Amino acid sequence: MGQARQAALLAKDASRPMGLLSEEQRNRILEVMADALRMHSSAICAANAQDMEAARAKGTKESLLDRLYLDEARVEAMAQGLESLAALPDPTGRVLERRTLPNGIELSRVTVPLGVVAMVYEARPNVTADAAGICLKSGNACVLRGGSLAIHSCVTIAHVMHDAAVDAGAPRNCITIIESTDREETGELLSLRGLVDVLIPRGGAGLIERCVREAQVPVIETGTGNCHVYVEKTADFDMARAIVMNAKTQRTGVCNACESLLVDAGIKDQFLPLMLADLAGAGVVIHGDQEARAAVTSSCALDEEARSLVASHFVDATEEDWGTEYLDLEISVRSIRGGVQEAIDHINRYGTHHSEVVVTQDASVAEAFCRGVDAAAVYVNASSRFTDGGEFGLGAEIGISTQKLHVRGPFALEALTTYKYVMRGEGQVRP
Amino acid sequence: MGQARQAALLAKDASRPMGLLSEEQRNRILEVMADALRMHSSAICAANAQDMEAARAKGTKESLLDRLYLDEARVEAMAQGLESLAALPDPTGRVLERRTLPNGIELSRVTVPLGVVAMVYEARPNVTADAAGICLKSGNACVLRGGSLAIHSCVTIAHVMHDAAVDAGAPRNCITIIESTDREETGELLSLRGLVDVLIPRGGAGLIERCVREAQVPVIETGTGNCHVYVEKTADFDMARAIVMNAKTQRTGVCNACESLLVDAGIKDQFLPLMLADLAGAGVVIHGDQEARAAVTSSCALDEEARSLVASHFVDATEEDWGTEYLDLEISVRSIRGGVQEAIDHINRYGTHHSEVVVTQDASVAEAFCRGVDAAAVYVNASSRFTDGGEFGLGAEIGISTQKLHVRGPFALEALTTYKYVMRGEGQVRP
């Protein structure tokens, strides 16, 4: 038996008493966990120093080292994260409906914890605290599987939190972590049908893809966003330029950033030169179709300098570009001759059903776009960057679901609950 | 490319226009489909006769032949089923929430069709009509995969409905059916991630198990029910006997039937002899533990005749019995020494999280049972047989989910929808 199965079995046993704790008990446990992180901050930072040293020795690149790094301030941020969770409303025990059946049975449908939640993540050790916190807040036990680069940090954080939680009245093994870095352990975890009630991967596309492909346990798929902005011919140009720039450049490494710009062919000569000059000015590489190239070379809206700036940032788009999530200062640009229906078809074909934007002043175009595009979030005249649990007012975001079952779009604590029907009778039998 | 992929690709293309039809259009399509079934009743029965002949030649057993058989009355029932669907409320287009974000964006969360729904079923040809009906009612296109025994019937029914639907304005290929009976086609269907939005198996445990194990597409797991009745020491004996008899014998081949009786050790001498005599009197084979056997042999509550009747229906239970769903006139019986907590632990260990019953007059026992048992439906003083979409007042039941994500317990049309966020702005960008 591998460590993953062992951890899940222990978590399963813990999940029963965990699910019976009151809201007050769970919030108190989160607060005690937060204090423990602060108290053991130096031990956590020491474990992290081991990880950092090993990672540097392996030649890990700087951006990844930054994600891995912990200091007192970052530990403090984890502790505060747990305290914010404690302050959120309880997602369990909510009565979704209550009615009396014609036979007199009182039916109520009540939210309850899922049971055992597995979280698989990568080199960000702070996810350990966040993941354990949201699981315990929602009455679940958890199995954590951190990235091998962060293993000492993750294990130390998990142990500190576990011991504090148990001291505060949580069941032993309410937080379990797989300490082996063997890749097989993830495979085993994905196979544990009946032990793991849901598994949530939090990390890059490769990790998510592996989990979705291999899992026999239920998975909530998150993450990839090949988001489009379609600028329709009635669009306000200034608004469109501001939305595209925000969606593309405000932050690039995120799933709700714009990766592809679709422009109505009817306005390509007026709008595209200005838009591409904005993008090139911000250092964005433009993967454009022939019409985009033509619109710039023949444009009198741009001076020589602007034209050459755009030209130096312009490459010809290939078929592959339409399906690419750059997560960087790059964008694909395509002109749309067939109106909103062609834009919808393009997005439904190449998109990832995440966040899609139309900029238009035509209400019927907006309506057609909202109905026709198959995505978690569709926007009229606003940036795709708003697809976010915080912006949506959801409290602690766990991720952004790109699947259609259970939860779609930004999701929070409610996603870690299910419901049960409680039926109270007086001896009723079925005729 | 196999037929499954071909069918799913066609259904995918149909799903876009299908999802744009109005409620009135979809209801009209269902009514036209119902008329078409009536009109082509003799062709359907002729196709069915082919299936019946082949099935008889194979030596198919009588109960299966009955499920396979169609006549004018059964075709009429299918037609009426479609008409009842037309009369139900539309599950799509419901606004689940609507609010204005602090930045002025109007957020609304609206139910929409899933897209492509695959239904895999066995030898009941009438499921073809029901499955297509619920998919079209909820704005989805469907891929149908019927059992090989019923293939001519299923294909004929599907074609009749499809052609009628298209005549009434539905997109071509809104109903597709896999005509090959090659087992590989099911395997391919299960692998079609990105084409099939959800797959629902409707049939026996073997089919469901295969789908859940092999699927890379989302599946809603239904069906198996190892349901318990726990008779606690304060139970009203008459009520307990009536509930157990109803849950065990009112219908045996169904997932919400009782398969296991747990009796508080404190009442085993008073209650068990009467209960077991009732069961044996109804022809139920009793797989009992040693205490159950002892309670009967030493009982003065039973006369010689009753004792020997029970004895003739009694076999010693093995460990395997606690996890067995008999779907027949058989029951396992175990005495519980450790009170409600032991009953909860037993049920959580051996049950299938379907429907679980406590019979008790003690409110704190009822409360502990309802909170502690991990099941879609928990009952206090009522029969498990009520776990049913019709009894719950859900309209057209699709199945009873034993999974925890998306839907749990009896589920209906809503399960074939997801939601999307529609965000209406006036140029908002993220600061």
pLDDT tens figures, B133-149? 999 999 999 999 999 99
Contact state of A421 with B387 under an 8 Å Cβ cutoff: yes
pTM for the model stands at 0.93
Name the residue in chain A with its Cα closest to that of B405.
Answer: A406
Picking from B51, B140, B58, B126, the residue whose alpha carbon sits closest to that of residue B92 is: B140
pLDDT for the residue numbered A295: 87
Q: Does B295 touch chain A (CB under 8 A)?
A: no
Chain A CB contacts of B386 below 8 Å: 101, 103, 105, 423, 428, 430
Question: Cβ–Cβ of A382/B107 closer than 8 Å?
Answer: no
How close does chain B come to A386, measured CA to CA in Å? 7
Contact B237, B271 (CB under 8 A): yes
Q: How confident is the model at residue B35 (pLDDT cuts 50, 70, 90)?
A: very high
B378 and chain A in contact, CB less than 8 A: yes
Question: What is the distance between the alpha carbons of residues A46 and A26, in angstroms, rounded to a whole number?
Answer: 29
CA gap A295, A270 in Å, rounded: 8
Query: Residue B180: is it exposed, middle or buried by C-beta count within 10 angstroms (0-12/13-18/19+)?
Result: middle
- Flag whether residue A430 sits within 8 Å of chain B, measured between CB atoms: yes
| Cβ within 8 Å, pair A408-B419 | yes
**A246 inside 8 A of chain B by CB:** yes
pLDDT at B160: 98
8 Å CB contact of B101 and A391: yes
pLDDT in tens, B7-20: 999 999 999 999 99
Residue closest to A10 by CA, chosen among A196, A185, A193, A137: A196
- Which residue stretches of A58-118 are H helix? 62-68, 72-87
- What's the CA gap between A262 and A65, in Å, rounded? 36
B427 Cα to chain A: minimum distance (Å) = 5
Confidence (pLDDT) at A69: 97
Q: What are phi and psi of A198, to 5 degrees?
A: -155, 145
Question: Is the model's pLDDT at B213 over the cut of 90?
Answer: no
* CA atoms of B330 and B333, how far apart (whole Å): 10
Tell me, yes or no, if A397 comes closer than 8 A to chain B by beta carbon. no
Interchain contact A237–B (C-beta under 8 A): no
pLDDT of B223 > 80? The answer is no
Structure tokens belonging to residue B124: 């009941």
- Enumerate residue ranges in chain A where pLDDT < 50: none
CA distance linking residue A129 with residue A126, whole number of Å: 6
pLDDT at B299: 79
Task: Pick A378's closest partner by Cβ from B19, B239, B422.
Answer: B422
CB contacts < 8 A, A to B, total 189
Q: Which of A350, A374, A398 to mutate to test the interface with B (most CBs of B within 10 A)?
A: A374
B98 reaches A (C-beta below 8 A)? no
B252 and A CB contact within 8 Å: no
Give Cα separations from A376 to A40, A248, A371 (angstroms): 41, 19, 12
CB pair distance less than 8 Å for A382 and B424: yes
Q: Measured between CB atoms, does A25 come within 8 Å of chain B?
A: no
- Whether the CB-CB separation of A243 and A382 falls below 8 Å is answered with yes
CB-neighbour burial class of residue A213 (10 A; exposed 0-12, middle 13-18, buried 19+)? exposed
CB proximity A59 to B under 8 Å: no
What are the tens digits of pLDDT across the range B328-382?
Answer: 999 999 999 999 999 999 999 999 999 999 999 999 999 999 999 999 999 999 9
Residues of A with Cβ-Cβ distance to B392 under 8 angstroms: 101, 107, 421
Q: How far is B221 from chain A (nearest CA, A)?
A: 11
Which of A403, A408, A426 is closest, CB to CB, to B420?
A: A408
For A350-373, give one letter per residue: b (16+ CB within 10 A) or e.
bbbbbbbbbbbeeeebbebbbbbb
A186 reaches B (C-beta below 8 A) = no
Among the partner residues A198, A383, A403, nearest to B429 by beta-carbon distance: A383
Residue of A nearest to B21 (CA): A371
pLDDT at A204: 83
A386–B contact, CB cutoff 8 A? yes
Nearest-CB residue to B243 (from A236, A372, A429): A429
Q: Which residue of A has its CA nearest to B415?
A: A405
Which two three-digit tokens encode residue B151? 């293939």
The SS3 assignment for A281 reads helix
The Cα of B431 is separated from the nearest Cα of chain A by a number of Å equal to 8
Say if residue B115's pLDDT is above 80.
yes
